[in-house]
Copies of this chain bind each other. A is one copy, B any other.
Amino acid sequence: MRDEWFIRGNVPMTKSEIRAVSLSKLELRPDSVLYDIGAGTGSVSVEAAMQMPAGQVYAIECKEEAVGLVRQNREKFGVENVTVIQGRAPEVLSGLPCATHAFVGGTGGKMEEILTLLLKRNPSMRIVANVIALESLSGILELVKRLEIQAEVVSVQVAKAERAGSCHLMKGQNPVYVISMGGESR
């Protein structure tokens, strides 16, 4: 789904291409239960919800403005299986039904704590994280080593052409690390 289809405000948004890769790595099924941690504008929640009509998304977001955007986007796209939770992970997770999948887009510096809790609640949970801070990447690698699990680490660097007169100029976007772990393989 195109970025411009979403109502955005000033909230940072997972870019279309990174969202596509991340959703693909999540390997959602029609009836999955997904935590979207750090939901931002809700673009991941909405696109995931449309891929799993019998499933349920919990969009967790602490910022007031972003919570409003998630609600607006949920309405705009008419998806009814997105529940918006205002609060912080990992605290708010304890009150929610257990998930089969989690997308971690923002953690407020608590990446390791959150991942540890998620894997404790459901050791076969499929988790995909988006990371741009090198320190968060380090934290995940250490956790993965400590827990003796395997993670796939991919960096995705997108450049998009901008029109300038009759020319297309390539503009670089920020590279994003997409880290995937857990889940039951086919």
- Contact yes or no, B167 A135, CB < 8 A: yes
This chain's copy number in the assembly: 4
Q: Which of A34-42, A63-71, A85-93, A169-177 participates in binding chain B?
A: A169-177
- Contact yes or no, B135 A137, CB < 8 A: no
- Contact yes or no, B168 A135, CB < 8 A: yes
Give the chain B neighbours of A154 by CB distance below 8 A.
17, 158-161
The 0/1 profile, CB within 8 Å of B marked 1, for residues 136-147 of chain A is: 111001100100
- Contact yes or no, B170 A159, CB < 8 A: no
- Contact yes or no, A155 B135, CB < 8 A: no
* Contact residue among B5, B16, B134, B172 (Cβ-Cβ distance under 8 Å from A186): B5
- Contact yes or no, A133 B169, CB < 8 A: yes
* Min CB–CB distance A1 → chain B (angstroms): 7
Residue A119, interface by CB 8 Å: no
Residue positions of A touching B, CB distance < 8 A: 1, 5, 16-17, 19-21, 23-25, 27, 132-138, 141-142, 145, 152-161, 164, 166-175, 186
Closest to A153 in B: B161
- Contact yes or no, A161 B156, CB < 8 A: no
* Min CB–CB distance A138 → chain B (angstroms): 4
Give the chain B neighbours of A160 by CB distance below 8 A.
152-154
* Contact residue among B19, B21, B168 (Cβ-Cβ distance under 8 Å from A133): B168
Give the chain B neighbours of A172 by CB distance below 8 A.
157, 159, 172-175
- Contact yes or no, B24 A136, CB < 8 A: no
Between A19, A136, A156, A160, the greatest number of chain B beta carbons within 10 A of the residue's beta carbon is seen for A156
Between A17, A152, A168, the greatest number of chain B beta carbons within 10 A of the residue's beta carbon is seen for A168
* Min CB–CB distance A175 → chain B (angstroms): 5
